[in-house]
Amino acid sequence: MNSEPEILFDRRGAAGIVTLNRPSALNAVTLIMVRALREQLDAWRDDPAVTRVVIRGAGERAFSAGGDLRQVYELGRTGRPEEALVYWREEYALNAVIKRYPKPFIALIDGIVMGGGVGVSVHGSHRVGSEKLLFAMPEVNIGFFPDVGATWFLPRMPGEMGTYCGITGERLRCADALSAGFATHHVPSRKFPDLLEGLCGTVPVDALIAAFAEPIGQGVLSQRRKDIDRLFAGSSVGQILAALDAQAAGEGTGAEWAAATAATIRVRSPTSTKIAFAQVRRGASLSFDECMQTEFRIVSRIVYGHDFYEGVRAVIIDKDNKPRWKPGTLAEVDEVEVERHFAPLAQELVLA
């Protein structure tokens, strides 16, 4: 059993360094980590010797592949969904702390970054990705929904990229993550040790990262941007699928891509897909705090539903990848049921 702490903190020169330290679990974020990071960020905020915070992941594979879903799955499955909600309440509050942090907050992303890992990186001032960066908000694949501030950042991606990411859950490599606005810079993985050393000094963060940054070229999805902006502009998931099906009926690589994309959407949780679509459309006109409150409203209903537990079972627990969604099709998902997830709560999320 690993006796090391799940999260490590180090003061090195002018930098406070955070290391997500669960490499065997792809640095999935636990409640212990959320609480420790919140406490440390509060301390460093008031420490004049710390002029910037750097966060990274331990190991070779991931910055952080998400939240500790197995933990919250077990709480819900054993009749303790209210305890599971404690995790999200505190995680969302941490996301807000990072969003408002008064000092440069630099995420060094050298691998997988998804879900909860996005929450402790995207809201910071700098997201430096290596060529190994792999970004996704894949929650619709497990009957959940894009959270940790996705209601804020997905609608603010260029064009319809946020809609595409939210309802497909597809993965973006570094070049596409840059063009989508998730990453702010690309630095080759081999340069990360020197970049980290430099960040511990007193050179201004912007100037230092700019000196290390390199161009990375065009991403695969960048070649589909016009298609994405046109096909994902519909007023419903049904309209988007109809547009994709129409393009799929044609010829060429555009038809193949549209067919594959439509097939991807159709195997996701129908309820989650419609919730994710509604989030992106609503989030465009909401403040950051309103977006976070919206997400807590949604999770407070999801945790009492069916699809989240079935999705985690199929993908993470049993790994048969054969979820049985209820309802099983998009047509069966009542819009009133979708709307219910956005209704006010008796105890709303409060952000300090």
Structure tokens at 331: 């047509």
Closest residue by Cα to residue 119 from 68, 163, 71, 72: 68
Name the DSSP class of 28.
P
313: which DSSP letter?
A: I
Calculate the alpha carbon distances from 275 to 249, 283, 284 in Å: 28, 12, 15
Asked if 175 and 150 touch (Cβ cutoff 8 Å), the reply is no
The answer to whether residue 214 is catalytic is: no
Instruction: Pick the catalytic residue from 68, 110, 139, 170.
Output: 139
Distance, CA of 294 to CA of 307 (rounded, Å)? 19
User: Which of these is catalytic: 57, 66, 67, 76?
Assistant: 67
Cα dihedral: 163, 150, 104, 30 (round 10): -140
Contacts of 197 (CB under 8 A, 6+ apart): none
CA 83 to chain CA centroid, nearest Å: 22
Hunting for tokens 């049985």 — which residue is that?
Answer: 324
Active site residue 139: yes
Burial letters 287-315, b for 16+ CB under 10 A, else e: ebeebbbbbbbbbbbbbebebbbbbbbbb
Annotated active-site residue 328? The verdict is no
Residue of 111, 116, 124, 149 marked catalytic: 116
Whether 147 is a known active-site residue: answer yes
The one catalytic residue in 6, 68, 110, 147 is 147
User: 281: exposed, middle or buried (C-beta count within 10 Å: 0-12, 13-18, 19+)?
Assistant: middle
Catalytic residues: 67, 116, 139, 147
